[in-house]
Chains A and B, each alone.
Chain A
């Protein structure tokens, strides 16, 4: 099955690449969009293979990344439009979705998307409790209660915010 996004018919005339997600679905991407990702660019330079298999990115995430890449590869759009697209792109997304996205940007090495997503994640995290962060990132607290209390005591000012949220 070949899925094309709305840019598909326009860019199909140019060279295009097929990217396969870990779910087995295939996406047709123009080469100009694919080379925005440093790792895809490397693969394309090394071999002439037009089919790239990504074993750790699922359908949903890959579709989002490709939508981002195609928009940024579009020369017809001004920088301002691209910037507002970036804002739209991350707004309203769940923290879980962002986690998958940031992982995908790391695999594909799309720096600008990585920054946008990291900024959004930081925005969500900034007023959260430590416990929330541990839960979301599945971190085991490896401090002893005494050591943790000591850290909190040293920088007590960071905790006195009345607006901290836990959900």
Chain B
């Protein structure tokens, strides 16, 4: 081996420059190279740089997650339809979109996402924070059982923070509730640093905040709550500042009085920390920017910022947008069947530079670049394309850090030929010659993962244990089927019988994964009973 290798390795600075540019996954993997590498990776300076990179955002758009924020009590089983966490992968890259496949759907509803972490759960008592990249999740302790005294616990938000002591991100979860009478907000915040919920009372200037109807939008570490439109305010709370007041922002007058309103969204520009407000009506799409208001510019939080501070930065007519996007002309009104709607609604922003807005027309989603005025349709690779909840926003899930200098918005679709992706993998232990081999399986198959939507509800899963074997294309494995609820659970132990041509010679675990893969290739139509036949004997 030449001397350059040793010399590169021996200089910490060079090694750090290389390591910091690796994806998180590789960094974790290379911790086992040597003790010196572990020391470099766990050194506070390296971790600080890494977490700053994580919080800077601006990475590729990986998926859109449909937000369906129904306040389902924790003790009720999740309704079968719509799916609790509908992740629509935008790029078809096996390495990355696998994150979408591995989100355990038992965790409940998607609530919010921030810098690569996902907050999900069952409102208002059960919350989980999930890192889809490492496939680890944390169940938060239940919020304090203190009586709410007239407060309505309504809105939950998540914010990812920088962390310099560990390789994982810190986060804050905030539950906000407003009081009906005395203009106060009660904020319960959970910090992963302390592991505790802290209750705080904040004053607010007007009753407008009462309608905490949606999860807050988190941008640059600040929570923004939208009020009902006719109140026309936004409540702003920065947990890092020790303030006991919620800053209120009035919205521009045309926005508040507009009767043709369709949808709206807010974000902070990553460049100058300015607040942007996107607004779509039946006639046009408008973007306002709040000049001069930022964390550093010294606004006192007790003053309500008047609506006149907003500046209209960008406005296009819906007709122009329809023409550019190739959407047939139509009226911006709701239809009973949302699939047939011609309405274009504004779903969210992607905080790139320049800003990009996510617009939605029925089941289809496109991106609109505010600077170049260009339109890009998104193609989904899997997920349930649409279930008709037209009014719910879609939330972009962005790569936690930027690996490339300029974010690529989508890759050209790459469809693996069947059998290639799993069958020839190094972990596929059986080959064609060993048709009747014994396979030791200890894996959990969730109905939700298979997306068998008929008849079997959420919360039930199948456990395949210890032993399974394949005979002439059929895999037989003992399994345990569990229907569970908090108050009762039903177990059923029997023999499962899995058939499929493509699954031949594969361990059961991989055969189910292949099934999922095939169905994705079929264009998002996930399994049905004909795909997977289980013959069940009762015990």
Contacts and interface: CB of A to CB of B under 8 A. Distances in A.
Given A125-B18, A126-B22, A162-B426, A151 B31 contact: yes
A125 B94 CA distance: 18
A115 B21 CA distance: 9
Nearest to A137: B9
Given A100-B4, A138-B9, A139-B9, A118 B17 contact: yes
B4 A96 contact: yes
B426 A119 contact: no
Contacts, number: 108
B6 A157 contact: no
Given A159-B29, A162-B425, 16 more contacts: A102-B8, A103-B7, A115-B17, A122-B19, A122-B22, A123-B21, A125-B22, A125-B26, A127-B95, A130-B30, A136-B5, A142-B36, A143-B34, A158-B29, A162-B422, A162-B426
Contact of A118 (B21, B26, B95): B21
A138 B1 contact: yes
A161 B28 CA distance: 13
Nearest to A162: B425
B427 A158 contact: no
Interface string A130-162: 100111111111110000100110010111011
Interface in B31-53: 31-38
Contacts of A143: 32, 34-35
A96 B32 CA distance: 22
B388 interface: no
Interface of B: 1-2, 4-9, 11, 13-14, 17-23, 25-26, 28-38, 94-95, 133-136, 421-422, 425-427
A126 B26 CA distance: 6
Contacts of B32: 130, 143, 148, 151-152
Contact of B5 (A106, A137, A163): A137
B18 A118 contact: yes
B57 to A, nearest CB: 19
Contact of B14 (A118, A125, A152, A157): A118
B14 A126 contact: no
B215 to A, nearest CB: 27
A126 B4 contact: no
A76 B486 CA distance: 72
A142 B17 contact: no
B23 A126 contact: yes
18 contacts: A96-B4, A102-B17, A114-B14, A118-B17, A118-B21, A125-B22, A130-B30, A133-B33, A137-B8, A137-B33, A140-B34, A142-B34, A151-B38, A152-B32, A158-B28, A158-B29, A161-B95, A162-B421
B322 to A, nearest CB: 34
A41 interface: no
B402 to A, nearest CB: 11
Interface residues of A, number: 38
Which of B8, B23, B38, B427 has the most chain A CB atoms inside 10 A of its CB?
B8
Contacts of A127: 26, 95
Contacts of A96: 2, 4
Contacts of B7: 103
A166 to B, nearest CB: 10
A102 B14 CA distance: 7
Given A99-B8, A130-B30, A134-B33, A122 B134 contact: no
Nearest to B17: A118
A122 B21 contact: yes
A137 B36 CA distance: 12
Q: Is the interface of B mostly helix, strand, loop or mixed?
A: helix
B14 A138 contact: no
B19 A142 contact: no
B136 A157 contact: yes
A140 B5 CA distance: 12
Contact of A157 (B20, B37, B135, B425): B135
A37 to B, nearest CB: 16
A151 to B, nearest CB: 5
Which of B6, B31, B136 has the most chain A CB atoms inside 10 A of its CB?
B31
Which of A115, A136, A162 has the most chain B CB atoms inside 10 A of its CB?
A162
A139 B32 CA distance: 11
Given A122-B21, A155-B28, A103 B135 contact: no
Contact of B17 (A114, A130, A133, A163): A114
A121 interface: yes
A106 B136 CA distance: 38
Given A151-B32, A162-B426, A162-B427, A106 B11 contact: yes
A134 to B, nearest CB: 6
Nearest to A114: B17
A141 B6 contact: no
Interface string A84-126: 0000000000001001101100100000001100110111011
B18 A121 contact: yes
Contacts of A158: 25-26, 28-29, 134
A159 B20 CA distance: 19
Contacts of B23: 126
Contacts of A162: 94, 421-422, 425-427
A130 B425 CA distance: 18
Nearest to B22: A122
B427 A99 contact: no
A99 to B, nearest CB: 4
B94 A163 contact: yes
Contacts of B22: 122, 125-126
A114 B11 CA distance: 13
